[in-house]
Amino acid sequence: MFERLQRWLSGNFTCIKCGRKVHALTFGYGTTICPDCYEGEQPFIFLDEGYWLNRLLSLIRRGG
Enumerate the domain spans of the chain. 2-62
> 10: which DSSP letter?
H
Structural contact between residues 11 and 48, judged by C-beta atoms closer than 8 angstroms:
no
The structure's pTM equals: 0.69
* Regions of the chain where pLDDT drops below 50: none
pLDDT the model gives residue 37: 92
- Dihedral angle sign, alpha carbons of residues 25, 31, 32, 34: positive
